[in-house]
């Protein structure tokens, strides 16, 4: 084991635990062949630590901040897919549109229009998720659950956007209740909107609740501190 690998050995153990907990949840609540992707959330994490996680089999990275992502993306192992998961200002879409595979945090018509515009200029179809504010919290972005159906209908009209599913950050208290509501919403909209969109991604579950999210049908869990340890906020 090299010195660098030894420095990041804690990531190996954390990832082993994550895999174990996901498999335990699947064994009780899901089919064995259900695919649950693990996203490594990289906010404040060094590119070297991120690349170590990629070497262990992580193939999906989640970026929260445009400026931080731009400062690190050229150093990342290119075998990993990158998605944007943070709040996204319309004036920053142009900086990431060419290098991320999916934008998870779409919660306004204006943002969708801007993504469509820049995707058209790049001659690409941009995959997106609709962010849902399942707990109705003022401190969080996202579309109201009651409005998501209409929102999907509106943004599905754009030629350079493809709706792939839903994303949420549920309230930390009563997590099971809100995760269950998201599962019901996702299943209902997947059926109701099947003629206009094909939804296959339900992104929910973070370090504190990813096993519970798997229980309620999540297909993608976003894990930062559970994989990389406590964040170093001196790295911004």
pLDDT tens-digit map of 61-83: 999 999 999 999 999 999 999 99
143 strand-pairing partners: 132
pLDDT tens column, 11-36: 999 999 999 999 999 999 999 899 99
The pLDDT value recorded for residue 174 is: 83
Handedness of CA 128, 64, 202, 130 (dihedral sign): negative
> Which is it for strands 81-84 and 102-106: parallel, antiparallel or unpaired?
parallel
Q: Backbone dihedral region of 217: left (phi > 0), alpha (psi from -120 to 50 degrees) or beta?
A: left
Are 86 and 111 within 8 A, CB to CB?
A: no
Report pLDDT for 12: 97
- pLDDT, position 230: 84
pLDDT of residue 60: 98
Q: Count the helix, strand and coil residues of the chain and give each as a percent rounded to the nearest 5.
A: 45, 15, 40
Q: Which of 163, 172, 185, 175 is nearest to 107 (CA)?
A: 163
Q: Which two tokens stand for residue 92?
A: 């920053």
Fold of 3-40+85-224: TIM Barrel (3.20.20)
Radius of gyration of the chain (CA): 17
pTM of the model: 0.94
Cα separation values, 90 from 56, 70, 143, 149, 199, Å: 34, 16, 17, 22, 24
List the chain residues with pLDDT less than 50.
1, 3
For residue 5, what pLDDT is reported?
A: 54
Token duo for residue 136: 């109705």
In what helix (H) or strand (E) does residue 37 lie, and over which residues does it extend?
A: strand 37-41
DSSP secondary structure string for all residues of 127-178: EEEEEE-TT--TTS--B-GGGHHHHHHHHTT-TTEEEEEEEE---STTHHHH
């Amino acid at each position: 084991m090299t010195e660098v690998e030894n420095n990041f050995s804690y990531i190996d153990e954390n990832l082993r635990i994550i895999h174990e907990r996901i498999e335990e949840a699947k064994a009780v609540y899901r089919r064995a062949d259900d695919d649950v992707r693990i996203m490594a959330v990289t906010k404040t994490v060094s590119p070297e630590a991120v690349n170590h996680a990629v070497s262990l089999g992580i193939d999906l990275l989640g970026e929260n901040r445009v400026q931080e992502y731009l400062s690190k993306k050229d150093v990342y192992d290119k075998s990993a897919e990158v998605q944007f998961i943070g709040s996204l200002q319309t004036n920053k879409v142009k900086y990431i549109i060419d290098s991320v595979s999916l934008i998870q945090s779409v919660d306004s018509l204006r943002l969708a229009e801007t993504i469509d515009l820049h995707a058209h200029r790049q001659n690409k179809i941009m995959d997106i998720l609709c962010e849902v504010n399942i707990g109705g919290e003022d401190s969080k972005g996202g579309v109201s659950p009651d409005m998501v159906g209409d929102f999907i209908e509106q943004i599905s009209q754009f030629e350079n956007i493809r709706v792939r599913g839903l994303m949420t950050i549920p309230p930390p208290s009563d997590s099971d209740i809100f995760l269950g509501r998201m599962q019901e919403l996702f299943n209902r909209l997947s059926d109701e909107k099947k003629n206009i969109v094909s939804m296959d991604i339900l992104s929910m579950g973070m370090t504190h609740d990813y096993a519970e999210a798997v229980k309620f049908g999540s297909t993608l869990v976003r894990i930062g501190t559970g994989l990389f340890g406590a964040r170093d906020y001196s790295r911004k």
